[in-house]
Amino acid sequence: MITKSLEEYLKTMYILKKQNGNIRVTDIANKMSCTKPSVNKALNNLKEEKLVNYEVYGQIELTEQGEELAKKILEVYDIVYLFLREVLGLDEEEAKKEAENIKSVITDNTINKLAKYVHNVLGLSNLNCNYDINQEKCRSCVKRTVKKKKI
């Protein structure tokens, strides 16, 4: 389990990778409004957790495990934010702040149930399947996709 601070670094690196195709210490520091030494310390901690591959002054890469965790962090935030904003009616700034706080303490079981509820209430999709936050797609939807491709 990593700290909330390290989650933010991981999430920022994932976003930078998607936006720029690469991840640099300077870009992380600018995006997070922190110092380069702080970024280097975080990178070393994430490296110890096997979430990034990094050598000082070298290329920064998310490991497969790091990328999966970053996606999960973003998805949990989105689900909680949608619930607070669209279901409870919180204003945008309050919903963002609360979602940021809640995402790091909510359990997988609770987020799975919250995701099903939010998706059903908002009519986004029907997750009355074996939805699992730890999978990129829900298990039943993956099974359906695989069956369709075989036909």
**109, containing H or E segment:** helix 108-122
Q: What is the pLDDT of residue 112?
A: 86
Q: What is the pLDDT of residue 140?
A: 42
Q: What is the pLDDT of residue 102?
A: 92
Q: Give Cα separations from 79 to 36, 45, 53, 82, 113 (angstroms).
A: 31, 27, 29, 5, 10
Q: What is the pLDDT of residue 42?
A: 96
Q: Count Cβ atoms below 10 Å from residue 19 Cβ, excluding itself.
A: 11
Q: Please tell me the class of the 4-62 domain.
A: mainly alpha
Name the 3-class secondary structure at 61: strand
Write out the residue limits of the CATH 1.10.10.10 domain(s) in the chain. 4-62
Q: What is the pLDDT of residue 105?
A: 87
Look up residue 117 and give its DSSP letter: H
pLDDT block averages, 10 residues each, the chain of length 151: 90 92 93 95 96 89 94 88 90 93 89 84 59 52 42 42
- Expressed in angstroms, the distance from the first to the final Cα of the chain is 42
Q: What is the pLDDT of residue 53?
A: 95
Note the pTM of the prediction, 2 decimals. Answer: 0.76
Q: What is the pLDDT of residue 117?
A: 85
Q: What is the pLDDT of residue 37?
A: 95
